[in-house]
Structure 1
């Protein structure tokens, strides 16, 4: 191929693109021969040694893959993807799949991946990996990754990015099904050990090596035939995994005794704490109860919890039983904790080993000072609250707060809608928590596969039917869940 054209292409490629080209060529060109390449000119020499630049088709495929089709004009070819033939090598679908993962991986997720692999790769290997492509190479050297060994990669990606994990799963289901037992050898002219002799017009193979290259069999679809994902992939993407035992932690913050003068003690809250402990223990969670925490203690407990390693956990549950106002709950010192301060320690940024896993928050507290009315509003007469239902109280407080900040895979189950009060029986517990636990128990032992949102819809319906101190209460679930969560007894 014209060296001047190759020189022009070299000038247009930056160092990251050259590194990507080198990665894609591994398995076609001997790995040792690829070491030390700093620019595209050096790479082109290696490709030329292996007869891969004879017609420009292989280089065109490389440029297409790294999305530099604009350089094809320098090869005097069109911008269409070159057709595959049996007469020349094509890129390994395995390497192209890894490159697509590299393209779609954020810097944050790359750091998470290094953290998750730190126990399997040495510190030197982790520190030497500046990009995901470097990390993939180190995984290959450690025998953690190969065209037919992708389970470790899939498991790691599932911890923080379900879409990237699906890319691997699709490759495993679609490509490896063609021949799951071995990787086919290269055609003779693709051998990594060819040496150019005399004037370079002939090549003599020394030893044939194994390639990652597989024939690309793209499916053809008509306009009448939808391109559906394999059912196994669809099922995996539809439900959160709950495979560990215990499933994870359930933390209950139970505030009953308040130290100031504005907020009354919360009689009956111990019944809520007891039933939550019973139900979530049976659902497979390790339950930890914290009683009577100040605002500062609530924040410090959750901040420390967010630093925990959740690799062996499938989910997290946090229940807060206290007084509240819009956008906040109160510590026993009558100071507020914003709802976003409850959730922020567990975002994917702050708790990377919880990324992609469901995080459930159930808040039994008022969210304002207003009453919800039914179809026939009937405000209570002075003193009627104590006369008609002396055992019911409101979990209300005097201060306004802020709304919650959301991240992926969160669910916030609120006892009531914003601006309104929630109710608690001083003997049997709160209306919301008791109904929540009844519904969780009912469907945990049923054969139906009802997810948590279906359960919370029933909670809304049952709580909404009641009348409390002549008023109504309507719970409100808010969520950014990306899958269905089904909780069953363990």
Structure 2
């Protein structure tokens, strides 16, 4: 015969005190809030609060070591006094065990008076059987019936918005808010340094490192989303090469891609953080990048969930390798971030400067060092901008009068780098749980489409900018604009692979 230890006994006594403090209506609230956690049979057999708690304990959702679900339930039900009496006020509630959808329905039920409930039942007269609309039926029971009829679920709250919006218009805003947040669970934009609500600022016109060149390219290049049509992307660059190159030779030279091997592609994939939000969908990006760069001839190495120290160690190890026989090196970082860097899983920041400096090594001299950064760079969301008749005046930037003489065989510090970042400074970057991020997926797609056509990397990134800029958050309110920065001295053109691109 098994005996309970003192801690377990005290916890069972605590659950009994909860039952004694709650009424029949409170039990119905508990059952409704837990309806996503238990089966219909388990819910129907729970005639008391302790029956419900026993089911939750069996599923290891509740225990003496983790009473957070109990605290969350009591907090939602506004039983703050009971929480204090139980000595649980020091426990953090596990925000998220109860779904946002279930929480929405519960909040609506608490806001509807008897008169409004009567009107709601009247409006549902053509949707539910009359027996289900009896006087004693509560709003939570109505929600249950609508779910049984497949008229209501977490992805479909239209009938909720229509009925409650007509009866109680003020509550319609709460339903709309849920729909926007539900869309945001698929299109996540919290790859930021803090988990707080994001400030919304209109997209301002800023001077970006590739603005002038990209605008000139876009003006001259016919770009289409139909991949079956010809994409003449390189023509804009070659036609303008005379003013991009200082030498008398108008041709922009290419980096050599004839080494014994293409090089190493390091993928740092940070998904699980100490306190920041989990980056669901990032593994899809990792696999896409891995397949594409292997196809391009790279030796792909992946590192999962690196803290700051580990990130710097991995980069140091990469720099310590002999890259003499390689053409270039690639580093992809998938993580949370801020305006000037990315975060390790311990929330330690690695700046973009540290990333670049880590690959300053002799065997990579005059070879392209390519970084692809998927991370937010702030908390603002970019709003769409619409065409206008007027344009801003061109701005001229003065250059210092310097000598053009140079020392043979030397290059400026920081030359031959590319940082292709998923978004411009201060703004968020969107990630879909089931499809990956907009930026990485557009990058992989365009590499597969355009490398076989001999298109150079900067032109491919221009097309990536185009593709991502056309995407919109499901609400239509938010946009994203990637930003490449580079100190490349030649064009990066990957040799055409002999095999078909990965699917």
TM over 0.5: no
* Structure with bigger gyration radius: 1
Higher relative contact order (CA 8 A, sep 6+): 2
TM-score for the superposition, normalised by structure 1: 0.44
